[in-house]
Chains A and B, each alone.
Chain A
Amino acid sequence: MTRFIACIAALLGFAGQLFAVTATTIQVGTVPGYLAVNATTNRIYVSNLNSNNVSVIDGSTNTVITTVVVGNSPSGIAVNPTTNLVYVVNLIRKQRLSNRWQLEYGRGNHHWHVVSVSRRCQHSNE
């Protein structure tokens, strides 16, 4: 995974830009749809819909420090800063969990597991 691409300093009062900001562009996976911020650890989690993974950004350096492979078509993503668990919705089921939507979660960068979420309220851990 390509990690860091470019840093662009936006000028104060730049036309059409309201805020005085520094904009940093970070290359992530394919079709990044949603993000979640853990303000406690300053980590940002990005769900990449078409590359089936989550980019983990270190907010202090604005670089991708790791990429976590998850289920198919990760979409919505949320983090609980208290428990440091990240929850990722996978839109397309895995074969072994057919007919169930599923939600993955991981503590930090490791040990990702699956909770399936279906209309029948079934669930299982992987």
Chain B
Amino acid sequence: MSSPFLVAANTATNRVYVTNYNANDVAVIDGATNTVVATVPVGTSPGGIAVDTSKNLVYVANQLSATISVINGETNTVARTFTLPSSASPGNVAVDPSANHLFVADGFNKVVYVLNTSTGALLATITGGKVPFKGPVDPAVFQPGKTVLISDNQLNAVEQISESNFAVSAGYKGGSSPAGVAVNQTTHVVYVAEEGNNTVIAYAP
């Protein structure tokens, strides 16, 4: 997996957020001028990042401090810090505002955490479906309020997580070290970056 040094955009406010893995902060860029307007200190080794545009909140996974920093996009300060199990090594994250869920991939512990975005409560620690996770990488909201996808670069599969009971079911198989997952919510096509064979697979419904 590449170094988790990532970026997310808030289309409503035209702000772009970049995690500085080695500096333990998040750079806030004004998309109108493309300049850094603030730097927000977070936890240790921030990587995964996701924006809730509707609430103007930014969720940052601090890999080495096993926490999630919640940045208020209006004040550029950390409003809340959610605590994960002390052994956690949080990686990529996805937020589903319609379900108040934050999905956190932990490839080191081979689990996906689900947090309540309002309270920070740990709702579930998902270990997989019929076949346990071996290397969950990148969660992505598939059907808002209903399902989330998670790539697993060791299982060579993208699996589906129910947002009602957090059960894992089969999704797409046949890739080679799938990494990034993205969904076009207009066309409902799912795109998976396959690091192992230098391809992107587009799954059309």
Which residues of chain A have a CB within 8 Å of any CB of chain B? 5, 16-37, 39-40, 42, 44, 46-49, 55, 57, 59, 62, 73, 75-83, 85, 87-89, 91, 101, 103, 105, 113, 115, 117-119, 121-123, 125
Q: Once the chains bind, are A17 and B35 in contact (CB under 8 Å)?
A: no
Q: Once the chains bind, are A23 and B200 in contact (CB under 8 Å)?
A: no
Point out the residues of chain A lying under 8 angstroms from B170, CB to CB: 16-18
Q: Once the chains bind, are A80 and B11 in contact (CB under 8 Å)?
A: yes
Point out the residues of chain A lying under 8 angstroms from B195, CB to CB: 31-33, 49
Known pairs A59-B184, A75-B6, A78-B7; A119 contacts B20 (CB<8 A): yes
Q: Once the chains bind, are B2 and A91 in contact (CB under 8 Å)?
A: yes
**Residue B81 at the chain A interface, CB threshold 8 Å:** no
Which residues of chain B have a CB within 8 Å of any CB of chain A? 1-9, 11, 14, 16, 18-20, 22-23, 25, 27, 29, 31, 34-36, 38-39, 49, 138, 160, 169-174, 179-187, 189, 191-195, 198-205
Known pairs A32-B194, A78-B8, A117-B29; A83 contacts B14 (CB<8 A): yes
Q: Once the chains bind, are B174 and A117 in contact (CB under 8 Å)?
A: no
Which of B16, B171, B187, B200 is the one whose CB lies under 8 Å from A32?
B200
Which of A22, A25, A33, A78 is the one whose CB lies under 8 Å from B179?
A33
Q: Once the chains bind, are B34 and A125 in contact (CB under 8 Å)?
A: yes
Q: Label chain B's interface by main secondary structure.
A: strand
Q: Once the chains bind, are A103 and B29 in contact (CB under 8 Å)?
A: yes
Known pairs A103-B18, A103-B29; A33 contacts B2 (CB<8 A): yes
A91 to B184 Cα, complex, angstroms: 26
Q: Once the chains bind, are B179 and A117 in contact (CB under 8 Å)?
A: no
- Report 13 cross-chain contacts, Cβ distance below 8 Å, ordered by A residue: A16-B170, A17-B170, A18-B169, A18-B170, A26-B200, A34-B138, A37-B191, A57-B191, A75-B4, A76-B49, A81-B11, A119-B25, A123-B36
Q: Once the chains bind, are B200 and A55 in contact (CB under 8 Å)?
A: yes
Q: Once the chains bind, are A21 and B204 in contact (CB under 8 Å)?
A: yes
Point out the residues of chain B lying under 8 angstroms from A36, CB to CB: 182
Point out the residues of chain A lying under 8 angstroms from B185, CB to CB: 39
Q: Once the chains bind, are B171 and A22 in contact (CB under 8 Å)?
A: no
Min CB–CB distance A23 → chain B (angstroms):
5
Q: Once the chains bind, are B202 and A62 in contact (CB under 8 Å)?
A: yes
Q: Label chain A's interface by main secondary structure.
A: strand
Which of A35, A44, A49, A55 is the one whose CB lies under 8 Å from B2?
A49
Min CB–CB distance B136 → chain A (angstroms):
15
Q: Once the chains bind, are A46 and B193 in contact (CB under 8 Å)?
A: yes
Identify the 3 closest CB pairs spanning chains A and B, nearest first: A76-B6, A119-B23, A34-B180
Min CB–CB distance A72 → chain B (angstroms):
12
Q: Once the chains bind, are B193 and A115 in contact (CB under 8 Å)?
A: no
A62 to B191 Cα, complex, angstroms: 10
A77-B7, A82-B11, A117-B29 provided; 15 other pairs, C-beta below 8 A? A17-B173, A19-B172, A27-B199, A33-B1, A33-B2, A33-B180, A34-B193, A35-B192, A37-B191, A44-B200, A57-B200, A76-B7, A80-B14, A82-B14, A117-B20
